[in-house]
Structure 1
Amino acid sequence: MLARMELNGAPATLDQIKALALTNYGHFTSMLVEDNRVRGLSLHLERLVRDCWHLFNVELDTDRVREFVRKALAGAEQPVTARVTIYDPTLEMGAIGSAAEPHVLVTTRSASTAQPAPWRVQAVSYRREDPAIKHVGLFGAMKHRRAAQRDGFDDVLFLNADGTISEIATSNIGFIRGDQVVWPRSEWLAGVTMGLLRQGLDEAVTEEAVTLSDLPAFDAAFATNAATGVRSIVAVDGTEWSADHPKLDELRELYAEIPGEEI
């Protein structure tokens, strides 16, 4: 399908979206849409509400957001990845403190439901600004992703100043030890896919401070992202794992069985 871009339910113009490049202030969420349903839709909407208040001090109307997403999806061949970006096209850098009227930009692109290819990731010391917010300020993350890819890796893994692991550029990371799933104890963006898996796992959720020196003690690693679900991580720097650990299949099956919510 052709990519679609609508602002408040109407085709977006270049003048309306230029603020995303020139001022670059806003937040977003991305979701996989299948048969007009989204796993964890309520979590995506909660994120948008929370981040809108944090960035703009405005209460976001989620019914309005859903209306605009439905309109952007009308007639589209699914599955698609829909990104909802909240920003005010009238805000300028010199007057960023002005009262805001957030707009809803919905962009769509074709998506695949095939199992994503395993990743090799490179670890670097970096902390995103305001890591709990899914904001549009991606320069640092993209700079490090580019460097990792030019070094032959697929993506980049961020380390805190104390050497503990936090997150991948636009995904969460988890580890498997025996039959146990371990999430890093850190500041990170609480991903929707991560949240759904944590809710669905029968065993207690385990969080630990994980460093690179701890990685050989794990049996497998994986990334979670709303667009791709559960992806095998086969290497962090020189530490390697199999892509075929049975717990990974269990996590994929668990995620696939989560019913989608109608938009």
Structure 2
Amino acid sequence: MAHVEINGGPASVEAVHRVATWNYGHFTSMQVRQRAVAGLALHLHRLRDGSRELFPERAAPSERTIVELVRHALGDQKDASVRVTVVPAGSDPEGVDVMVSVSEPAPDAAGAPLRVRTVTYERELPHLKHVATLGLTYHYLAARAAGFDDALFVARDGRISEGSVWNVAFWDGERVIWPDAPQLTGITMQVLRLGLKKLGIPDEQRTLTAASLPGMRAAAAANSRCPAQPIATIGETTLPDSAEFAALLREAWRAMPWDDL
């Protein structure tokens, strides 16, 4: 059962309607396990930076306030999916409202390897996790209708960037490679890179295009719901080692401690 609070109180129909109608804000999504979060500080920094960019004239909530609001919305729950959304305040022209949504925890087990297709698309303000999600949802649904599982975005200059709601990691047989292109630097991606460094596994960001794909042995999608979802094919390119690569990424994920709320 979903539970929604705004600024620590019950979310009224009027408040939720205002948020949906205004449709201007940013958010972060996280999985909570035993009241701990992977990369909690990174989530808080994302919210801070998003508020500074989208609401430069408004006072942003402190990181401590965000954590207190998440704790309050969780109540007695130890495991949950949590989304924190920051929007302009309805009653205060100099403030913001913080909406915390709590729902059932998402299983992080990988599903069957994905078949994805590439599509030329660039999100607006790609470095922000903002609420303007129509374009990415459209391309995800279009890929599904065409018989694929998801879409991998390619910028207008030909650079591979990110998936619909995930970052993509590649394996060339020697190192982990992340696309160097305008994209959202996902929290899971950041945690994985820290874990890879801890394990001594080389990784880097590199410009990748469609011409780079035949040289890759594996690929995986990474987001807050699943840190390592194998990708079987991208278009006509088969990635034979994706299951083994996903196992490697999961090892890096497990190498990093979770932060108590």
Does TM, normalized by the shorter one, top 0.5? yes
Residue deviations 1:121-147 (CA, integer Å, cap 9, x gap): 121111000000110011111111111
Matched, 1:27 2:26: yes
Distance 1:161 1:214, change over 3 A: same
Structure 1, unmatched stretches of 5+, are 92-97
Identity of aligned residues (%): 35
- The CA distance in 2 between the partners of 1:239 and 1:159, in whole Å, is 15
Q: Which runs of 4+ in 1 moved over 6 A?
A: none
Distance apart, 1:114 and its partner CA: 4.3
Which of 111, 116, 122 is residue 117 of structure 2 equivalent to? Answer: 122
> Quick check: 1:121–1:233 contact (8 Å CA) kept in 2?
yes
- Secondary structure at 1:124 match in 2: strand
Residues of 2 paired with 1:244 and 1:122: CA distance? 16
* Residue matched to 1:95: none
Q: How do residues 32-43 of structure 1 correspond to structure 2 at under 5 angstroms?
A: 32-43=31-42
2:215 matched residue in structure 1: 217
- Which residue number in structure 2 is paired with residue 62 of structure 1? 63
**Correspondent of 1:255 among 228, 240, 253:** 253
**How far off is 1:88 after superposition?**
2.1
CA distance in 2, matches of 1:101, 1:114: 35
Q: Distance in 1 between matches of 2:21 and 2:212?
A: 42
Superposed displacement of residue 112, structure 1? 3.5
**1:244 deviation in Å?**
4.9
Q: Structure 2 regions of 5+ residues with no counterpart?
A: none
Residue 18 of structure 1 pairs with residue 20 of structure 2: no
What letter is aligned with 2:102?
Answer: T
Contact 1:19/1:89 (CA < 8 Å) preserved in 2? no
Cα distance, 1:82–1:255 mapped onto 2, change above 3 Å: same
TM-score (norm 2): 0.92
Aligned to 1:174: 169
Distance 1:244 1:233, change over 3 A: closer
8 A Cα contact 2:60 2:96, kept in partner: no
Partner of 2:101: 107
Q: For residue 231 of structure 1, report the CA deviation from its aligned partner.
A: 0.9
Q: 1-side partners of 2:55 and 2:146: how far apart?
A: 38
Instruction: Find the partner of 2:240 among 226, 239, 242.
Output: 242
Q: Following the alignment from structure 2 to structure 1, what is the Cα–Cα distance between the partners of residues 86 and 106?
A: 25
Paired with 1:242 and 1:32, the residues of 2 have a C-alpha distance of 30
Which secondary structure state, in structure 1, belongs to the residue aligned with residue 228 of structure 2? strand
Q: Is the 8 A contact 1:120 1:236 kept in 2?
A: yes
How far apart, in 1, do the equivalents of 2:149 and 2:243 lie?
20
1:229 aligns with 2:224: no
SS of residue in 2 equivalent to 1:66: helix
1:141 maps to a residue whose letter is L
Q: How does 1:124-163 map to 2 (within 5 A)?
A: 124-163=119-158
Secondary structure class of the residue paired with 1:82: strand
Counterpart of 1:65, as a letter, is I
CA distance, structure 1, for counterparts of residue 219 and residue 242 of structure 2: 10
The structural deviation recorded for 1:79 is: 2.7
Change (3 A) 1:213 1:42: same
8 Å CA contact 1:145–1:155 kept in 2: the answer is: yes
Question: Is the contact between residue 85 and residue 99 of structure 2 (CA under 8 Å) also seen in structure 1?
Answer: yes
Q: How many residues align?
A: 255
